[in-house]
Amino acid sequence: MQSSQVAAWADIIHGPVSRARLAGRLTVVGVLLTVLGALCLSAPLIMLLAQTPVWSPVRQAPSEDTAQLEAAARWDRALLDSPQLAVGNAADPFNPSGQPAYATDTAYQALLGTGDSMARIRIPKIGLSLDIGHGTGAGTLETGAGHVYGTTLPVGDPGNSVIAGHRGLGLSLLFYRLGELGDGDLVYTQAAGRTVAWRVTAIHRVAPGSAAERRLLAADGRRTLLTLYTCDPPGLNTRRLVITCRRVPYVETVSVPGQTDWSRPALAAAGTALAATVVYLVFHPMSCAVRHARRRRD
């Protein structure tokens, strides 16, 4: 009889406290899981904000490399006179190695300087600033844009210079926001010290390998064009987004992107966590029970 009294007394003293502690722990775990789930769902938006750059003043462009630009002009004229058989990643039919033609073309690889970057492209409207590499190999497109072999070079000569890029790869946006461009937006390319301004004139979404795609990417010595080429919609290969730009007199209307600003993604993550916490506490069973009990007492 005494033991039952002791047990009953222990329940009176410790029982409610233990249940309260357990409920508190479950509430903390629930809040943490809710916040974690909300952050996972909002991760694409947070990463987009993280890679949207802060604008900084335009730096003075270096002096033009006359020799490199003359070599590029000769290459472009020869290309328009005698179009190449191998375009893009196609292999040279006369080279038994089977490698893409651009990889074995030493003259092409030396144009506009050697290394990973032959030029640079920037689009102030979408905060894009990327190196342009020789060719469109996997290594080049993992970190930047690539010049499509067999098209004119991005130096502002007559013809059609085609620049390709992935629409997001891992945490890198690359050409992800290209679909936000519209007629009249400005694009800039810089190579061998020369900066060229281009204005968007047409936006097309075409099937890969279609006649419309070939027409948009074809060389055209009658005009001076820059064509931006990527997949559509982002992350898929069902369509192609092709943006045609026409050369215009150089006008710098907006500043170029600078360092990344982490305050916006941090605020977005904090807001998401706070909203998830509030929603969880409002709809938590314990909160509902308390509200129901209050209504009964009233």
237-287, pLDDT tens digit by residue?
A: 899 999 999 999 987 655 444 444 556 667 777 777 777 777 777 766 555
CA–CA separation, 130 and 113 (whole Å): 16
Residue tagged active-site, from 14, 40, 134, 231: 231
User: Under a CB-based contact definition with an 8 Å cutoff, are residues 243 and 227 in contact?
Assistant: yes
Residues 116-173 have pLDDT tens digits of 789 999 998 888 889 999 988 888 888 889 999 989 999 999 999 999 999 877 667 8
Q: What is the pLDDT of residue 8?
A: 52
Q: What is the pLDDT of residue 32?
A: 80
CA–CA separation, 99 and 90 (whole Å): 8
Cα dihedral angle (246, 252, 258, 263), rounded to 10 degrees?
-100
Q: What is the pLDDT of residue 221?
A: 85
Q: What is the pLDDT of residue 220?
A: 83
In the chain, % of residues over pLDDT 90? 33
166 labelled catalytic: yes
Phi first, then psi, for residue 176 (nearest 5°) are: -55, -40
Question: Omega of the bond prior to 208 within 30 degrees of 0, cis?
Answer: no
Mean pLDDT, range 181-205, rounded to an integer? 94
Q: Counting beta carbons within 10 angstroms of the beta carbon of residue 166, is it exposed (0 to 12), middle (13 to 18) or buried (19 or more)?
A: buried
Residue tagged active-site, from 14, 40, 147, 166: 166
288 labelled catalytic: no
Judged against a pLDDT cut of 60, whether residue 296 lies above it is answered with no
26 — pLDDT class (breaks 50, 70, 90): low
Residue bearing tokens 């020789």: 134
User: Under a CB-based contact definition with an 8 Å cutoff, are residues 157 and 72 in contact?
Assistant: yes
Residues 80-103 have pLDDT tens digits of 887 765 455 544 444 445 567 777
Q: What is the pLDDT of residue 21?
A: 57
Q: What is the pLDDT of residue 257?
A: 47
Q: 288: Cβ–Cβ under 8 A, 6 or more apart, which residues?
A: none
List the Cα angle 162/75/106 in 5-degree steps.
90
The whole model's pTM is what? Answer: 0.65
Q: Please, what are the domains in the chain?
A: 64-247 (2.40.260.10)
* Packed helices 263-283 and 43-50: angle between N→C axes, nearest 10 degrees: 160
User: Under a CB-based contact definition with an 8 Å cutoff, are residues 112 and 103 in contact?
Assistant: no
User: Under a CB-based contact definition with an 8 Å cutoff, are residues 251 and 261 in contact?
Assistant: no
Q: What value does the CA radius of gyration of the chain take, rounded to a whole number of Å?
A: 30
46 — pLDDT class (breaks 50, 70, 90): low
Q: What is the pLDDT of residue 264?
A: 62
